[in-house]
Chains A and B, each alone.
Chain A
């Protein structure tokens, strides 16, 4: 199936831990994104990568770092997790020049306890 896939779907961890979320797309898109959706369901962009280059970095704590080994993968590493990091994290991809919208992964629900 052509898709954006994320793993894991659920992640429960203790404060202070370091964790990673993986994302892969097989749509041939050249740009990938990470979004955070908080408890109020507001979707906010965190990062985007275009052809392995970071092109947007919002005011996200430097505990969060995106890593892209190739244009089909964009992983999210989070260090020293805090309670406020609990949210659903969505990966998405697009063909940057097309403006046809983004395809989202199924999300990773992160709970920090």
Chain B
């Protein structure tokens, strides 16, 4: 069974801090990695994807991928209360497999 593991949290960060979310995956052959944000009662929303080892930045978000360690992370700089949500790590093979999500709360 191909698995995607995340710390369910909750993770708390003060406003303006860097929030760090982590994810590991079991299938060494996986090539495509995604981070989704899901607000309570809403649908998952894609925020980043990454395919290559290293960092990928988009605004306040940075995705980091280390295929050797089978590890994906998401950094959120200058965290805002509006970033409070559940963040879902996903790995795509023939379909998208999701982790259980990490709930982030950013406190003013």
A interface SS class: strand
- The closest CB in chain A to the CB of B49 belongs to A101
Number of interface residues of A (CB under 8 A): 22
List of A residues within 8 angstroms of B51 by Cβ: 99
Q: Is B96 interfacial (CB 8 A cutoff)? A: yes
Q: Is the CB of A101 within 8 A of B46?
A: yes
List of B residues within 8 angstroms of A92 by Cβ: 96
Contact flags B56-69 to A (C-beta < 8 A → 1, else 0): 00000000000000
Q: Is the CB of A42 within 8 A of B98?
A: yes
B interface SS class: strand
Q: Is the CB of B95 within 8 A of A33?
A: yes
Q: Is the CB of A103 within 8 A of B92?
A: no
Complex-state Cα separation, A94 to B43, whole angstroms = 15
Complex-state Cα separation, A103 to B36, whole angstroms = 10
Complex-state Cα separation, A107 to B42, whole angstroms = 8
- The closest CB in chain A to the CB of B47 belongs to A101
Q: A43 contacts which of B31, B44, B46, B49 (Cβ < 8 Å)?
A: B44
Q: Is the CB of A45 within 8 A of B96?
A: yes
List of A residues within 8 angstroms of B38 by Cβ: 41
A/B interface sample: 17 pairs, CB < 8 A: A40-B100, A41-B86, A42-B98, A42-B100, A45-B95, A45-B96, A56-B94, A56-B95, A90-B44, A94-B96, A99-B31, A101-B36, A102-B96, A104-B43, A104-B45, A105-B43, A106-B42
